[in-house]
Amino acid sequence: MPNDNKNKTRIIMPKVLLITEGSLPLLELTEKLKPNNWDLITLDQKQNSRDIDLIQEADFLLSFSGKIHDEILLNAKNIRLIQLCSAGFDGINKKITSDMNIPIANNGGANSIPVAEFTMTLMLSTIRHIVDADNNTRQGLWDSKLQSKKSYELFGSTVGIIGAGKIGTRVIEMLQGFNTNILYTDIVTSTKAESLDAKKVSMEYLLKK
């Protein structure tokens, strides 16, 4: 007979195993923000991946780095969900989780806005030679060679996007105010990119343009 009281306790207070690798600056914040009914346990997989009892008792696995060792997965007998705070699945053995019927969720797109903004910053900085101009100004120089470098305007330019995923489509959204001609290349057609008048082309064609 199953222990009903134990099962009810697991549902009311799930055991969440937070997988770390060494120091974790976000641990204090995680403790502060977690629901009161969470039993949050930290496991440093570099040192304690053989703590079998701790792993087997967990209901959920949470990983900030997105990396979970195979040994931990193989002993996660009661896990109902693995939540990765990374954007991809490359740090986890999906063959093992598939064989064990453990669902995995990632955090794709969480950093899409800051990365897209940084991309826009790099584009504008490059075509206007901002880094060179800043270095010269700090050194008290007036570089005539820099003045002769050809600068470009982003407005009205043709911009190529390699990969129209969450970050790529964010960049396309931000480019709307610059009246640009946007080309993108991807293994699949992006409905979002197409709705923003971006045109899917081959990599070869994109690089030529």
Average pLDDT over residues 30-38: 82
What is the pLDDT confidence band of residue 3, given thresholds at 50, 70 and 90? low
Q: Has domain 112-208 been given CATH number 3.40.50.720?
A: yes
Helix, strand, coil shares of the chain as percentages rounded to 5?
45, 15, 40
Judged by average pLDDT, the poorest of 5-14, 16-25, 104-113, 135-144 is 5-14
1, pLDDT greater than 80: no
Q: In whole numbers, what is the pLDDT of the chain averaged over residues? A: 85
Q: Has domain 4-105 been given CATH number 3.40.50.720?
A: yes
Q: Pinpoint the residues of the chain covered by CATH 3.40.50.720.
A: 4-105, 112-208
143, pLDDT greater than 80: no
46-99 tens-digit pLDDT: 765 567 888 888 999 988 877 888 988 998 889 999 999 888 888 899 999 999
Q: Is pLDDT larger for residue 190 or for residue 26?
A: 190
Q: What's phi and psi for 23, nearest 5 deg?
A: -65, 145
Helix (H, G, I), strand (E, B) or coil at 146: helix
* Contact in structure between 106 and 89 (CB atoms under 8 Å): yes
